[in-house]
Chains A and B, each alone.
Chain A
Amino acid sequence: MELQPYLLLSAITFVIGVVGVLSRRNAIIVFMSIELMLNSVNLSLVAFSAFLGDVTGQMLVFFAMTVAAAEAAIGLAIIISMFRNKQTVNIDDINILKW
């Protein structure tokens, strides 16, 4: 098995996540798409780490997971507090690509 299929798979998953962030309006789905992006990057890191025979990449994945957990807690707290005030988590007004 070579490295290339892993990197291609990771790139495709990353792009799928980006599509989700740019096209969906529900904050929770946008958040899930971001988690997909982070997962695909972690896959690249582990693949690089394995093929380099160097464990640093896996350390980085470990820290990325910690940060992802922290962001999940903060993000869902923000979504819930917004829902409490506004009764919606649709991001019409928070249109992400509004210039």
Chain B
Amino acid sequence: MDLYTIAFYLFAVITLVSASIVVFSKNIIYSAFALLFAFFGVAGLYVLLMADFIAVTQLMIYVGGILVLVLFGVMLTTRVINVDMRTGTIQTLPAVLIVAALAGTLVGVFWTTDWRIMPAFPGFEKTAPRIGELLLTSYLLPFEIASVVLLVALVGAAMIARREKKAS
């Protein structure tokens, strides 16, 4: 096994274990911190795939932004810690069926497909200049739409979460 493969399995294990903790832990604080490691694991995999720009963005947006928001949410709604995690019996069966069907299809189809048709990993020189160039040429419209999505999120979040003003 070469170093690359070892690194891949290391990050894969980190991601999978943390993901399981996020979903199955009884303590929401553990879940939130496990999410941090899951994000780190995925960022490591991005580095292995030579996606430098995306790896850095992953750390800045997911770890620096979204995770901090989630932690704020956890702390502002403190009563939810140690929540009872039994689920109603009505939804267990459909949930199991859905998950089994989904897992079977996805894993089955990836397992059986013959991947040798794919070319060997060509990789990239540097991705950031290429992405930056595309964002301002071919993908200018999606870039603008993304900015509008962020604006709507700003307006909406401020509207919903702000305190009620005195009867106006």
Tell me the A residues contacting B by CB distance below 8 Å.
Answer: 1-9, 11-20, 22-26, 28-29, 31-33, 35-36, 39-40, 42-43, 46-47, 49-51, 53, 55-56, 58-59, 61-63, 65-74, 76-81, 83, 87-90, 95-98
Contacts and interface: CB of A to CB of B under 8 A. Distances in A.
A74 to B, nearest CB: 5
B85 A89 contact: no
A91 B31 CA distance: 17
16 contacts: A5-B8, A6-B49, A8-B107, A15-B106, A15-B107, A23-B92, A28-B73, A33-B22, A36-B19, A36-B38, A39-B42, A49-B49, A59-B142, A62-B53, A77-B157, A77-B158
Given A16-B23, A50-B123, A53-B122, A39 B110 contact: no
Interface in B59-108: 61-62, 65-66, 69-70, 72-74, 76-77, 79-80, 83-85, 87-88, 90-92, 94-95, 98-99, 102-103, 106-107
Given A62-B54, A80-B77, A16 B115 contact: no
- Label chain B's interface by main secondary structure: helix
B131 A31 contact: no
A48 to B, nearest CB: 9
Given A22-B91, A25-B85, A46 B70 contact: no
Contacts of B31: 29, 32
